[in-house]
Homo-oligomer: A and B are copies of this chain.
Amino acid sequence: MFDFKVEKKTGDKLYIQVFDGIKKMIQEGKFERDHKLLTIRAASLALSVNSSTIVKAYDMLEKEGYLYKIVGSGCYVTSEKLPEKFHFEEEGDQGINYSQLDLGKVINFASATPSSELFPLKDFKDAINFVLERDGGEVFSYQDPKGYGPLREEISRYLNKKEIKTDNIQIVSGSQQAIDIIGKMLLKPGDKIIVEGPTYAGAVSSFKKAGAHIITIPLEKDGMDMKKLKSTLEKERDVKFIYTMMNYHNPTGICWSQIKKEKLLKIASKDNIFIVEDDCMSEIYYGENNPLSLKSIDEKEKVIYIKSFSKIFMPGLRLAFMALPKELIETAVSVKYMADISSSGLNQRAFHHYMKEGCIYSHLDSIRKIFAQRYIYMKEEIQKIPQLKIVYEAEGGLFFWLKIPEWMDSEKFYNLALKKGVSFLPGRVFYQKNDLSPYLRISFAGVDENEIKIGMRYFREAFEEYLGKRKARLPLV
């Protein structure tokens, strides 16, 4: 059964040796998927260790995704091919594993990236060839660190339509770079910042790496819990900035109310705190309402506005921009220059041409319709599953924030669902304290209606299996 031995004389703890031994066997494919491992008692006999050692090792294996447990039945091998680390696709640090992971036939409700069928390839190819012809070598010379001038102007016009009036625009290589630059501009180790709970993990990880101490304020359906925010600010001095996603928030899909937006701005001005508004979703509204950003009412120049073109256009383009308070623009240019001199000239110039020709607006019209349909379609599928709750109804964006019954753990459920052939993001990815959580996010960005249908069937199967286990246990309680 086990092809390793536990050495009692080495310095390594016994349960770590058991963990490493079984993990290695799983990684080397020595177990079939769903293979049932020895019971605690049998394993402790086989390896001549205490049964508590086996319990600890099995727990660790389960936590890292190598095992799943069925109460009253035993422990089973999740898969012979799971990567080294447990993977939560595409949010924050862990996204790295995703890109190297062959998910095979798993239907991906985890990714919030539009599927490539939605990319306007033909038009963009034309734009590329147009600028290559027009600009020649200029395309590949060093570019202005602030960003290609005409693109900045075009973005100003774009923002004007969203009632944002500013020329203080810095082009960056994706919103992750904006976040990195903001960290470098504003944070010293030990500085405090405030984020929403839940929130985007990639931002939190980056700010943490810049040394920030992160305070989480719970989110309500119309924005942050303002009482908690105020009492926190009274207690905590020197908060550097508040990081927020006001429109179709990731992962909950909520929008801040106008009242809370205005309150937040007032607080920010009074306490001299910047607000980082990460606006990746507001173009994806389903109805007639185009929600306004905080930046559009930012009269005192407190808001650092980030807009990525990854979600609304194409992520591999690596283009985003910041609209900054005037006092920060010079520093931003200098930090950008130190980070990578400038963003790709070809991508900037081609995207400028594409924007100028108005193509971006018709592209947005088209994807808005598609996403609205997918939203409705997925919602119907979700509603077919009793005990699965949509926490907030969204009017835009790319995902549902769901709640499974309180006693369930969305991470365990994730492992089950992955086995069935569908992935999503467990709730704890979006929280700083990685507690177990009955919340999860499913996205329809990269899946068409057919995939939604199949994926939701897998989802339902996994859900029912989990429920079934509970039922199986009930008589024993």
Task: Report A's interface with B, CB cutoff 8 A.
Answer: 90, 93, 95-96, 99-100, 113, 115-117, 119, 121, 124-125, 128-129, 132, 136-146, 172-174, 176-177, 180, 184, 189, 202, 205-206, 209, 310, 314-318, 333-334, 337-347
- B contact residues around A117 at 8 Å (CB): 137
User: What's the least CB distance linking A326 to chain B, in Å?
Assistant: 15
B189 near A316: Cβ-Cβ < 8 Å: no
A340 near B173: Cβ-Cβ < 8 Å: yes
A318 near B340: Cβ-Cβ < 8 Å: yes
- B contact residues around A206 at 8 Å (CB): 338
B347 near A316: Cβ-Cβ < 8 Å: no
Bound-complex Cα distance A113 to B138 (A)? 12
Interface centre among A132, A145, A205, A338 (most CB of B within 10 A): A338
Knowing A121-B132, A346-B316, the reply to whether A341 touches B142 (Cβ < 8 A) is no
Q: Which of B180, B314, B337 contacts A340, CB < 8 Å?
A: B180
- B contact residues around A180 at 8 Å (CB): 338-340
- B contact residues around A143 at 8 Å (CB): 99, 316
Q: Which of B174, B209, B343 contacts A341, CB < 8 Å?
A: B174
A315 near B140: Cβ-Cβ < 8 Å: yes
Bound-complex Cα distance A156 to B65 (A)? 33
- B contact residues around A121 at 8 Å (CB): 132, 136-137, 140
User: Closest B-chain residue to A118, C-beta based?
Assistant: B137
User: What's the least CB distance linking A186 to chain B, in Å?
Assistant: 13
Interface centre among A136, A141, A172, A315 (most CB of B within 10 A): A141
User: What's the least CB distance linking A88 to chain B, in Å?
Assistant: 13
A315 near B142: Cβ-Cβ < 8 Å: yes
A132 near B128: Cβ-Cβ < 8 Å: yes
A176 near B341: Cβ-Cβ < 8 Å: yes
Bound-complex Cα distance A93 to B334 (A)? 7
- B contact residues around A146 at 8 Å (CB): 100
User: What's the least CB distance linking A227 to chain B, in Å?
Assistant: 33
Bound-complex Cα distance A432 to B301 (A)? 36
12 further interface pairs, Cβ-Cβ under 8 Å (given A315-B341, A317-B346): A93-B338, A113-B141, A116-B137, A139-B316, A142-B315, A176-B339, A177-B339, A177-B340, A184-B209, A209-B338, A344-B346, A346-B347
User: What's the least CB distance linking A461 to chain B, in Å?
Assistant: 29
User: What's the least CB distance linking A99 to chain B, in Å?
Assistant: 5
Bound-complex Cα distance A121 to B135 (A)? 11
- B contact residues around A347 at 8 Å (CB): 344, 346-347
B340 near A140: Cβ-Cβ < 8 Å: no
- B contact residues around A346 at 8 Å (CB): 128, 316-317, 344, 346-347
User: What's the least CB distance linking A195 to chain B, in Å?
Assistant: 16
User: What's the least CB distance linking A209 to chain B, in Å?
Assistant: 6
Bound-complex Cα distance A390 to B121 (A)? 53
User: Would you mind naming 30 contact pairs between A and B with Cβ atoms under 8 Å apart?
Assistant: A93-B338, A96-B145, A99-B143, A99-B144, A113-B141, A115-B137, A116-B137, A117-B137, A119-B137, A119-B140, A121-B132, A121-B136, A125-B129, A128-B128, A128-B132, A129-B129, A139-B316, A140-B317, A141-B314, A142-B310, A143-B316, A176-B340, A177-B339, A180-B339, A189-B189, A206-B338, A316-B342, A317-B344, A344-B344, A344-B346
User: Closest B-chain residue to A178, C-beta based?
Assistant: B340
User: Closest B-chain residue to A315, C-beta based?
Assistant: B142
User: Closest B-chain residue to A202, C-beta based?
Assistant: B338
- B contact residues around A137 at 8 Å (CB): 115-117, 119, 121, 314
Bound-complex Cα distance A116 to B344 (A)? 16
A338 near B205: Cβ-Cβ < 8 Å: yes
- B contact residues around A96 at 8 Å (CB): 145, 333-334, 337
- B contact residues around A318 at 8 Å (CB): 340-345
Interface centre among A125, A315, A316 (most CB of B within 10 A): A316
- B contact residues around A317 at 8 Å (CB): 140, 344-346
Closest 3 CB pairs of A and B: A116-B137, A316-B345, A140-B314
- B contact residues around A316 at 8 Å (CB): 138-143, 342, 344-346
- B contact residues around A124 at 8 Å (CB): 140
User: Closest B-chain residue to A348, C-beta based?
Assistant: B316
- B contact residues around A140 at 8 Å (CB): 116, 119, 121, 124, 314-317
A136 near B113: Cβ-Cβ < 8 Å: no
User: What's the least CB distance linking A201 to chain B, in Å?
Assistant: 11
User: What's the least CB distance linking A10 to chain B, in Å?
Assistant: 23
